[in-house]
Amino acid sequence: MAKDRQDETPRSYAPLGGAIEAPPAQGGLYLVATPIGNLGDISLRALELLAGADVIACEDTRVTRKLTERFGITTHLMAYHEHNAEEARPKIIARLDEGQAVALVSDAGTPLISDPGYKLVRATIDAGHAVTALPGASAVMSALNVAGLPTDRFFFEGFLPPKQAGRQKRIAELSTIPATLVLFESGPRLGAALADLSEVLGTREASVCRELTKLHEEVRRGDLSELAAHYAGDAETRGEIVIVIAPPVEEEASAGDVDELLRKALARVSVKDAVGEVALATGRPRREVYQRALDIEKER
């Protein structure tokens, strides 16, 4: 997510005096969760590990440096992100081969969530080195906590496709998952994404969680149509955004429901794609849905 997530600290959080001192960490790869906004959410174990590591691999050294300078940590920083991963990964494995301790952090939150860090973990395991997780802040878990929606089962999707056709197709694929959905979205696309979610999923309950743990945290709850209408206007959409959506209601779709879904789908995709979407969303036999689609096409 965006690189400014660690910029805000509550005024009541006093600076620490001096540098963090810690014994050298044992060799291996450490996955260290960092705050998603409020720097006070860093754990003591994370601070000690970052101070005791030989190097910190991070998405953006400028972002992570704000965290390390805030706590007086002087460990060397190196960039590791999706654009340099192929080149940087062998260098990290070489450090591990030498017995060094490497800390992997994202710009904010838990590493490997919506980023390609798992490739480094796989390479580390294949090279025979230890991998240790230091748990902490997570935008996904924080949003689930405050959304007021079922948490016994959830599906994390990450970012939806940026273009409408791809986005609606993916939403249709997600529509039958019997779990609460958790999505990331950018401010400029929030209104369009909510409109598509409302069109495809109907009036499910949802929450838009913006700037979690920061000074201007906002959690807006309602059904998808209400949220789409709100964010279609001039509502504030800056910052980091998580959308949480209630699971589908378990009930058999009626013939009228199937026809309504088909008409919406046929207005934007081919008969074949519309039939696939509606059959998946309703659980009705594909042959039955196909016949209804042909009947609707004749009526148009």
* Number of domains present in the structure of the chain: 3
Question: Which pLDDT does position 1 carry in this prediction?
Answer: 38
Here the CATH number for the domain that contains residue 78 is 3.40.1010.10
**In terms of domains, do 117 and 49 share one?**
yes
Strands 218-223 and 205-210: antiparallel
Mutual orientation of helices 164-174 and 190-201 as an angle, nearest 10°? 50
Instruction: Please state whether the predicted TM-score (pTM) of the whole model is above 0.85.
Output: no
Are 50 and 129 part of one and the same domain? yes
| Any domain includes 8 | no
Whole-angstrom Cα distance, residue 245 to residue 223?
9
Q: Give residue 279's pLDDT.
A: 84
pLDDT at 299: 82
In a domain, 169, yes or no: yes
Residues 166, 122, single domain; the answer is: no
pLDDT recorded at residue 17 = 53
At CA 83, angle to CA 79 and CA 87, rounded to 5? Answer: 70
64 and 127 share a domain? yes
- Indicate whether 146 belongs to any domain: yes
- Are 269 and 206 found together in one domain? no
CA 68, CA 64: separation in Å to the nearest integer?
6
| 193 and 293 share one domain | no
- Could you tell me if residue 19 is inside a domain? no
So what's the pLDDT on residue 253? 62
Task: List the chain residues with pLDDT less than 50.
Answer: 1-16
pLDDT tens profile 27-75: 999 999 999 999 999 999 999 999 999 999 999 999 999 999 999 999 9
Q: Which of 103, 137, 171 is a domain's end point?
A: 137
Q: 128 with 153, same domain? A: no
Together in a domain, 70 and 105 = yes
Tell me whether residue 12 is in a domain. no
DSSP assignment of 33-50:
-B-SS-GGG--HHHHHHH
Residue 176 has what pLDDT? 86
Q: Is residue 275 part of a domain?
A: yes
Same domain, 188 and 101: no
Q: Which of 137, 159, 190 is the last residue of a domain?
A: 137
The per-residue b/e assignment along 3-37, b for 16 or more CB within 10 angstroms, e otherwise, is ebbbebbeeeeeeeeeebebeebebbbbbbbbbbb
Q: What is the C-alpha separation between 105 and 209, in angstroms, rounded?
A: 23
Specify if 10 maps to a domain: no
Token reading at 244 = 């949480």
* CATH number of the domain to which 228 belongs: 3.30.950.10
Same domain, 132 and 144: no
Same domain for 74 and 150:
no
Domain span at residue 216? 140-245
Q: Is residue 269 part of a domain?
A: yes
User: Do residue 125 and residue 145 come from a single domain?
Assistant: no
- Separation between Cα atoms, residue 227 and residue 109, nearest integer Å: 26
Domain endpoint, select from 245, 269, 286: 245
